Amino acid sequence: MDQVKTGRLIRTLRAQKGLTQKKLAEAIGVGDKAVSKWERGLGCPDVSLLPELSRVLGVGLEALLSGQLDANDQERGNMKKLKFYVCPDCGNLITAATGAGVSCCGKTLLPLESQKAGDMDKLSVEKVDDSWWFISSPHPMTKEHFVSFVALLTGDTLFLRRLYPEWDLQTRIPCFGHGILLWYCTRHGLFQQII
């Protein structure tokens, strides 16, 4: 931990929250002289104080320890760059428009890397009634090996259908025009194809 960087970050975040050194000190149970010392880079908070300091300042522990906020690149709202995260323990599905620090069940999750579907992996896509895509596949749908979701991404839209084991892989997705069809196999990962 760089005391000077961490001190600057604490001062900046405290000011953004409209807190005085005394108010911040009261919120985390220390004296205002301790906060002053940290902000001048003459010391750093005790490890036991970091979770509460993080909560009060509204920033992650990693940012406090590194002394800097990660500036995510602006994706300008392009949904095709959406990141998907799946928890290997509970199956929780999380999305983020840009890179994010995501955790679930006590584990840090990495964004899934999609792979282009080969001819054998592609889902069957048929247009129905000019307003729906009918998606199907003979993919196994057992408790140990199944497709957990199918999603359509366009430049400004995400439509996602959650799927469950022991059901057939069949679903309908509104036809928003062309986009990227993504699906997640619990054994083989995230796949994509253009529709």
CATH of the domain at 176: 2.60.40.730
Residue 176 has a pLDDT of: 78
Are 131 and 188 within one domain?
yes
Assign 72 a pLDDT band (cuts: 50, 70, 90). very low
Q: Answer yes or no: is pLDDT of 81 > 50.
A: yes
Is the separation of the CB atoms in 27 and 54 below 8 Å?
A: no
The domain spanning residue 15 has which CATH number?
Answer: 1.10.260.40
| pLDDT tens digits for range 169-188 | 999 999 877 889 999 999 99
User: Does some domain include residue 87?
Assistant: no
List residues bridging with 161 in a β-sheet: 150
User: Does some domain include residue 103?
Assistant: no
pTM across the whole model: 0.61
Chain centre distance of CA 171:
25
Are 62 and 127 within one domain?
no
Range of the domain at 187: 113-194
| pLDDT tens digits for range 105-157 | 999 999 999 999 998 899 999 998 888 999 999 999 999 999 999 999 987 88
Are 125 and 187 within one domain?
yes
Q: Which residues 6+ apart lie within 8 Å of 60 measured at CB?
A: 54, 101
Contacts of range 59-64, beta carbons closer than 8 Å, 24 or more positions apart: 59/9, 59/13, 60/101, 62/101, 63/9, 64/6, 64/9, 64/10
User: Does some domain include residue 169?
Assistant: yes
Are 119 and 185 within one domain?
yes
Is the separation of the CB atoms in 14 and 57 below 8 Å?
A: yes
